[in-house]
Amino acid sequence: MARLRKKQRIMLLVFGGVALALSTVLVSLAMRDSIVFFFGPSELMAKEASGEIGADRRLRVGGMVLEGSVERGTSETVRFTVTDMKNEVDVSYKGVLPDLFAEGQGVVAEGYFEEGHFRAVSVLAKHDEKYMPREVTSAMEAAATLTE
């Protein structure tokens, strides 16, 4: 009788472990499409050259807005260049930019990279003089170490 109970407990633990592993796999597969990866301009160009990213993949690019690169057209479309001080990516965005968006400031744009041009669907700007998104700082540091 004791052996039977011990065997039942072990089977219950094994079944629970399998159910937990299966649910973890299913949740991560469901979230896979909603994950957006961050790249600096240097990383973005390298990944495009190697074919790792396609035009249908939503991603983020971040860095500094290059001084003198902001072009506002007659429509709501704004064009600007994001740099990590090594490479640059041209970005176009249709919509109203955040109030804190400015040349020479940190920015993260989310959208699609198509044929060497980034089409942003949202733009995030820094919120004070000292703040820069952690991803932008690390991308710029990584680009600086590549050039040394």
The per-residue pLDDT for 17 is: 95
> Please, which residues have CB within 8 angstroms of residue 18's CB and are 6 or more apart in sequence?
none
The DSSP code for 117 is E
Contact (CB, 8 A) for 38 and 108: yes
Question: pLDDT-derived band of residue 145, with 50, 70 and 90 as boundaries?
Answer: confident
At 4 the three-state DSSP class reads helix
The amino acid sitting at 86 is K
Asked if pLDDT for residue 10 goes beyond 90, the answer is: yes
Determine the average pLDDT of the residues in 35-46: 81
Pick the CATH number of 36-147 from 3.30.565.10, 2.40.50.140, 1.10.3210.10, 1.10.3720.10: 2.40.50.140
Angle ∠(60,62,68) on CA atoms, nearest 5: 130
Could you tell me the pTM of the whole model? 0.65
Q: CA torsion angle for 116, 122, 123, 126 (degrees, to 10)?
A: -140
- The beta strand positions in the chain, using DSSP E, are 37-39, 58-65, 71-72, 77-83, 88-94, 106-114, 117-125
Determine the average pLDDT of the residues in 70-92: 90
